[in-house]
Structure 1
Amino acid sequence: MEYKQLGDSSVTASAITFGSWAAGGWMWGGTEQNDAVGAIHASYDLGVTSIDTAPIYGQGLSEEIVGEAIKSLPRDKVQVLTKFGMRWDLAQGDFAMKTKDNSGHDLDVYKYAAPASIIKECEDSLRRLGTDYIDLYQIHWPDKTTPIPDTMEAVQRLVEQGKVRAVGVSNYSVDQMREAEQTVPLASNQVPYSMLRRDIEQDLVPYCLEHNKAILAYSPMQLGLLTGKFRPGQHFDASDLRATNRLFTADNITRVNAFLAKLQPMAESKNASLSQLVIRWTLAQPGITVALVGARNAEQAVQNARAIEVKLAAEEIDFINKALAQLQLN
């Protein structure tokens, strides 16, 4: 495994980090807790020491699963990355979405990052995770109802209390990062990035490279589309976020699969899967520090972790980029 320092902080993360959104089941069609714990342990055995989670994933379930998994691991060898600022139990802040919980009950979610809410969320996360500190604490989404300095002052207090080692943001723009940095040093920004979603290359990547901020790329497999396992007409339950995602139309799935077919010989020549090739390409992009990759069982987790063993030469990356440039999606 490769390990990367997150900005100027004291936290070092594994380049491939275990993303536990799917493990929490929410918006992914349920979960099996024992499989998720086994997946985390299998990842750890291959050097994946960092786990990213959030309270909203399964409304606490993902954090509880992570807590169960790290109980038997040396705490100082594991990096727990979690978030705050998404409340489903409180109707305050900026309304985010209507959704359903894992039991199918209606749920209203709010982006809310007022100081008192953050302090409560931190205590709840520490309890669910079964730990007394969080390695990287990230605001999940910007909250337009709370001034950024107010939010960051509260997180800074948690740092001073020893409950948080480093502060990060998620889904923040460059301007929002600049404003947050007036109050607290930021280690990172967690943002969506994949072969099919590269808009951060315009401004966020240059900013983070210039100011030594880590970029944690989430959904590098584009919700599984880049595995090549989906076929046109694939059925998704209404609770699955892919059911309404424009990239999962029959036409786009066909086009992406045709692109992936061009990469298949390269993957085979390296005795690698398409997924492993995609993860390695992601980590080879300028400014990308960590790839967050989900797994729902140990077999998937092992495959993800072994992506680090795939080596890509400059001309191979160039070949992939040229094939990508020809891919037109609706």
Structure 2
Amino acid sequence: MRTIRIEGLEKPVSCLIQGSDYFSMDIYDKVCGVLDAFFKIGGNTIDTAHVYGGGNSERTIGQWMKDRGNRADVILLTKGAHHDSKGPRVTPEAIASDLNESLERLGTDYVDLYALHRDDPSVPVGTIIEALNGHIAAGRIRAIGASNWTVQRLQEANDYAAAHGLTGFAFSSPNLSLAKAKEPFWAGCASAYADDCAWHERNRFPLLSWSSQARGFFTGRYTPEVTDNADLVRVFYSDDNWERLRRAETLGKQKGASPIQIALAYVLNQPFPACALIGAQTPEELESCRQGADIRLTREELNWLEHGEGGI
């Protein structure tokens, strides 16, 4: 499996990152099957978060690592400082509280990749960067990143880090998919569009995409007439996205691939380091992702898929 490098880590990160928002001890055997199979095909990175399942996701991953005795082989990405019912909580205190609880649940004394789950633009970037650097210095975090931050805030944070001799953000995790979101899927979420991708390319800045396959938009289950998934309709149903689906079908026929595999390849073949968070729950879904990750697309094919310009 292809990999990318993220500053701060010795090991490369697999281009497919297994998502775990559905993990719980109630389905522990299923989780073990998914993770064992994911690592067998060359994956090495698991995505989780302090808020997933009220902590059940992290606890289940921790139990799996304990049973397998493989912590050294796993790259853990977890996230913290998500808002709560009272509002934003991107503060040094919330970061410390969430991180320490995540470490306890995971049964480890460090995480490889730590991302802030949301942003609060009212908090100065210096306050955030200095707090995160304290955890890096203590050995609790190897590399820091941000999920759902704008590239402008990422740049501001990294400029602050550079000016003060601190470690800046090493990766970003917004939504990036062939189907372009019309509005945020959840409040406070960010998607990467043309200007954002141009920033990532200029800076060779790694992007770890959530909802990389547009939450099933390319599976063939959806048409303009199928409107039973209100969130998918709200976020991804548009004339432009139906055209992108048709182009994915066309290119897929040429390459012997399904539209959803082409959509995955679109993310992984960006002109900057990119990974895709996947939600595989069955061997068939995992194999589809493995095959999609092997597809190579040219810049011309990427442009045609997204804009319909040029030819293939």
TM-score range (shorter-chain normalised) is 0.7 to 0.9
Where relative contact order (Cα < 8 A, 6+ residues apart) is larger, the structure is 1
- Structure 1 residues 109-168: Cα deviation after superposition (integer angstroms, max 9, x where no partner): xx3122122112111111111222100111111024543322222211111111110011
Answer yes or no: is 1:233 the counterpart of 2:226: yes
1:313 is displaced (CA, Å) by 4.7
How many correspondences in the alignment?
292
Answer yes or no: is 1:200 the counterpart of 2:188: no
**What residue is the counterpart of 1:297 in the other structure?**
282
Change in Cα spacing, 1:261 to 1:74, as seen in structure 2 (3 Å) is: same
1:324 is displaced (CA, Å) by 8.1
1:234 is displaced (CA, Å) by 4.5
**What residue is the counterpart of 2:4 in the other structure?**
4
**What residue is the counterpart of 1:246 in the other structure?**
234
Answer yes or no: is 1:186 the counterpart of 2:150: no
Answer yes or no: is 1:175 the counterpart of 2:152: yes
Answer yes or no: is 1:79 the counterpart of 2:75: yes
1:316 is displaced (CA, Å) by 4.2
**What residue is the counterpart of 1:143 in the other structure?**
120
Answer yes or no: is 1:306 the counterpart of 2:306: no
User: Identity of counterpart residues, as a percentage?
Assistant: 26
Q: Write out aligned runs for 1:200-219 (5 A).
A: 200-219=192-211
Change in Cα spacing, 1:303 to 1:67, as seen in structure 2 (3 Å) is: farther
- Structure 1 residues 37-88: Cα deviation after superposition (integer angstroms, max 9, x where no partner): 3222211110111111111121212222322333316222211001111154
Answer yes or no: is 1:53 the counterpart of 2:48: yes
Taking the aligned partners of 1:314 and 1:187, their CA distance within structure 2 comes to 25
Task: Give unpaired runs (5+ residues) of structure 1.
Answer: 26-30, 96-110, 237-241, 326-330
Q: Which amino acid aligns with 1:170?
A: S
TM-score by length of 1: 0.77
**What residue is the counterpart of 1:125 in the other structure?**
102
- Structure 1 residues 260-296: Cα deviation after superposition (integer angstroms, max 9, x where no partner): 3443354244343222221112111222521112122
Task: Give unpaired runs (5+ residues) of structure 2.
Answer: 162-166, 182-190
Q: Is the 8 A contact 1:24 1:62 kept in 2?
A: yes
Which structure shows the higher strand fraction?
1
Q: C-alpha root-mean-square deviation of aligned residues, in Å?
A: 2.9
Task: Name whichever of 2-11 and 122-131 sits farther off.
Answer: 2-11
**Secondary structure at the counterpart of residue 263 of structure 2:** helix
1:188 is displaced (CA, Å) by 0.6
Q: Which amino acid aligns with 2:106?
A: L
Taking the aligned partners of 1:142 and 1:259, their CA distance within structure 2 comes to 30
Taking the aligned partners of 2:269 and 2:149, their CA distance within structure 1 comes to 22
Taking the aligned partners of 1:211 and 1:5, their CA distance within structure 2 comes to 14
TM-score by length of 2: 0.81
